[in-house]
């Protein structure tokens, strides 16, 4: 004899048609969620493809106006600028030159589309000849290490150059202790208390960054484990973001994304600030490789990944797929 089972509630009732599914969908991806990273290189005249990141290029300065306008016309409202400098030294001094690459890119992007939110990545790895994120101190047991407090002083100078160039948001990515407080102090003392800070507040020393080093033509060798986070430490990951919130960060960030959804959810549960995630170069490259091999549906995987970030608690997503996502949404 077969028993008749009648569930009191059938979840499938609201999955029956695409319209019903749309009505009860809990998370959505829109172009308002997206931030597009852009690489701009000095002294080139044509885009340079990045072999480890198919579809991503280093743009010449002369094309930045066109790229920003194109992104805006697709509905993308924020860009994150990375300079690829040919004027590198041991401290990244080009970034505190009002006519240096970082300042020029900010001015160009703002002139291209004044309403675009132009965000400067505030670090030194693209501008130092050693590829580390600040001033080096010698003698650590792991080789080269970054000297915390001199790097803070340089970050203050760099942030003020970005502010004078017209940037809309400062995004410090060095993972140097006290970086948010130092930048906030410098900005406020010079009358830029209206500028928000989006901190790379929980940034891991991750293997997922490999292709990024191709993107910025980095000379980096060694490890950043002395200043970026140990991937094993979830409680410390939360503490890093909580501290940056207390120091005055307006937006918090987790980098990378997919391997750290638990960290995103933990920060969301404990912090009130808007939360961003950086869908990094290695994550991008793996999807592209899978799609090229014909083993995954690229659009479906990308959109499912974006929903995972939103479901975990993110408000903003920095991704190299931003223009493709905008195209899919607009279609």
DSSP secondary structure string for all residues of 195-217: --BB---EEB--GGGHHHHHHTT
| Whether residue 203 lies in the annotated active site | yes
pLDDT score for 16: 95
What's the average model confidence in pLDDT over 261-269? 98
Residue 217 sits at φ, ψ, to 5 deg, of 55, 50
pLDDT band at 146 (very low <50, low <70, confident <90, very high): confident
pLDDT at 142 over 90: no
Complete DSSP assignment for 251-313: BEEEES-GGGHHHHHHHHHH--S-EEEEE-HHHHHHHHHHHHTTSS-HHHHHHHHHHHHHHHT
Q: Supply the pLDDT for residue 130.
A: 77
Over residues 158-167, the mean pLDDT reads 97
Q: 3.20.10.10, 3.20.20.70, 3.30.499.10, 3.40.50.1400: which CATH number matches 28-330? A: 3.20.20.70
pLDDT digits over 49-74, tens only? Answer: 999 999 999 999 999 999 999 999 99
Which of 74, 203, 288, 310 is the catalytic position?
203
pLDDT at 221 > cutoff 70: no
Mean pLDDT confidence for 163-185: 95
Q: Which of 74, 110, 255, 310 is catalytic?
A: 255
Q: For the chain, what are the domain ranges?
A: 28-330
The arithmetic mean of pLDDT across residues 27-40, rounded, is: 97
- Rounded CA-CA distance 110/64 in Å is 10
- Quick check: 141 pLDDT over 60? no
pLDDT at position 106, please? Answer: 98
Return all residues near 20 (Cβ < 8 A) that are at least 6 apart.
14
Q: Is 255 a catalytic residue?
A: yes
Enter the pTM of the model.
0.93
**pLDDT tens for residues 84-127?**
999 988 888 888 999 999 999 999 999 999 999 999 999 888 88
């Amino acid at each position: 004899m077969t028993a008749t089972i009648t569930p009191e509630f059938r979840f499938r009732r609201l999955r029956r048609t695409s319209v019903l599914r749309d009505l009860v969908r809990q998370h959505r991806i829109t172009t308002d969620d997206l931030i597009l990273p852009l690489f701009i290189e000095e002294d080139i005249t044509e885009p340079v493809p990045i072999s480890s990141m198919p579809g991503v290029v280093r743009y010449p300065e002369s094309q930045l106006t066109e790229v920003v306008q194109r992104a805006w016309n697709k509905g993308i409202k924020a860009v994150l600028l990375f300079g690829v400098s040919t004027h590198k030294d041991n401290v990244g001094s080009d970034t505190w030159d009002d006519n240096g690459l970082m300042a020029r890119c900010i001015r160009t992007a703002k002139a291209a589309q004044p309403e675009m939110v132009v965000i400067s990545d505030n670090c030194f790895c693209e501008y130092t000849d050693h590829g580390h994120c600040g001033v080096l101190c010698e003698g650590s047991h792991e080789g080269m290490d970054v000297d915390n407090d001199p790097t803070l002083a340089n970050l203050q100078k760099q942030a003020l150059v970005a502010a004078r160039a017209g940037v809309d948001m400062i995004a410090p990515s060095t993972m140097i202790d006290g970086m948010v407080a130092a930048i906030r102090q410098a900005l406020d003392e010079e009358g830029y208390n209206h500028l928000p800070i989006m901190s790379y507040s929980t940034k891991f020393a991750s293997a997922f960054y490999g292709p990024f080093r191709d993107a910025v033509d980095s000379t980096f060798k060694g490890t950043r484990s002395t200043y970026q986070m140990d991937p094993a430490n979830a409680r410390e990951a939360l503490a890093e973001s909580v501290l940056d919130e207390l120091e005055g960060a307006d937006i918090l960030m987790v980098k990378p994304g997919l391997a750290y959804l638990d960290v995103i959810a933990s920060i969301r549960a404990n912090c009130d600030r808007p939360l961003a995630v950086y869908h990094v170069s290695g994550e991008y490259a793996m999807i592209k490789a899978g799609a090229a091999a014909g083993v995954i549906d690229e659009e479906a995987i990308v959109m499912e990944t974006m929903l995972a970030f939103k479901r975990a608690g993110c408000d903003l997503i920095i991704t190299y797929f931003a223009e493709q996502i905008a195209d899919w949404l607009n279609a």
